Amino acid sequence: MSLRPCARRLSKLLARPVSFVDDCVGEKVENAISAMKDREVLLLENLRFYEAEEHPEKDPTFAQRLAKLGDCYVNDAFATAHRAHASTALIAEFFPHRAAAGELLVKEIVALRDSLVEPKRPFVAIVGGATVSSKIGVLTSLLDKADALIIGGAMNYTFMKARGISIGNSPCEEAMLDSALQVISRAEQQNKQILFPVDLMVAAEYANTDDNRLVSVEEGIPEGFQGMDIGPQTISAWQSVVASAQTIFWNGPVGVFEFPLFASGTRAVAELVAGSHAFSVVGGGDSIAALEQTGLSSAISHISTGGGASLEFIEKGTLPGIQALEKSAGI
């Protein structure tokens, strides 16, 4: 519940002492900063202990109190740049022409803009994960940009039910069935390829259980079973599409890869993406974890540090944290 261990680690990385204060605003912090000498480093405590960080409207002075502490402001936190929080979006206004993006944030913006605004084609997007509701905006945006959209993971079961296919005990967002059909309709109208799994590994319980079987999507998932992973025919069907891509964006696992028995699909997708000749962008903690499990991280062109941030950037073309820096710079 503290950043104190990070101060010790940062000290080793910088090869110099790093002081720590167990607060981020107030007299104690201001006194510690006043006592600093040139080239000294001070790490402050996690500012999310203050409600006003995530809810600036509850204390409009919080961002100003943070701003009092420095002469300039650098945001290098891409993973939180999609949040309109005090330290990411509001603080920059107190540093007119003295706010900047850090090297990591710049790298993320350049990689995502260069690869996705005017991508080399074919551009293939692979989207997995749990819910349609959290990704409906980005699915629509990707359809406008990509040549092919591949959908896997638990969100696929909502699409299956929307298409009238039995999903057994698989998770489904009932409120998103119409939205799922709209995504399919939009793909047809735009003559875009949208690929779903054609076979699935299903299990009798959400566990790493031997009580599993392979079923075709055409026959559906039987009652008492739930989808856990994509099957070998799906991997074969997706292989040629991924192999022909010049640009690939992947966010979200396509199965419950935390269980070894159901990690094959996500591992296969990682291998397909890494083995392609495309400029590849992978975002999201689970996708990155899968890459690390397979030892293929070095084969990816750009690994994004922010899953939600990368998705929102694709959807909207900017983020509150980036907009704040642009406003400070007068752009």
Q: Comparing 4-107+318-329 with 121-277, is the CATH topology the same?
A: yes
Partners of residue 75 on adjacent β-strands: 101
4-107+318-329 to CATH, choices 3.30.465.10, 1.10.3720.10, 2.160.10.10, 3.40.50.1260? 3.40.50.1260
Handedness of CA 91, 97, 98, 104 (dihedral sign): positive
What is the C-alpha to C-alpha distance for residues 33 and 42, in angstroms, rounded to an integer? 8
SS3 call for 188: helix
pLDDT digits (tens, 9 = 90+) for 229-272: 999 999 999 999 999 999 999 999 999 999 999 999 999 999 99
- Tell me how far CA of residue 295 lies from CA of 95, 128, 263, 274, in angstroms: 42, 20, 14, 10
* pLDDT tens digit sequence for 265-322: 999 999 999 999 999 999 888 888 888 888 899 999 999 988 888 888 888 889 999 9
pLDDT surpassing 80 at residue 331: no
pTM of the model: 0.85
Q: Where exactly are the structural domains of the chain? A: 4-107+318-329, 121-277
Residue tagged 């629509």 (tokens): 140
* Class of domain 121-277 as given by CATH: alpha beta
Cα distance between residue 258 and residue 255, in whole Å: 9
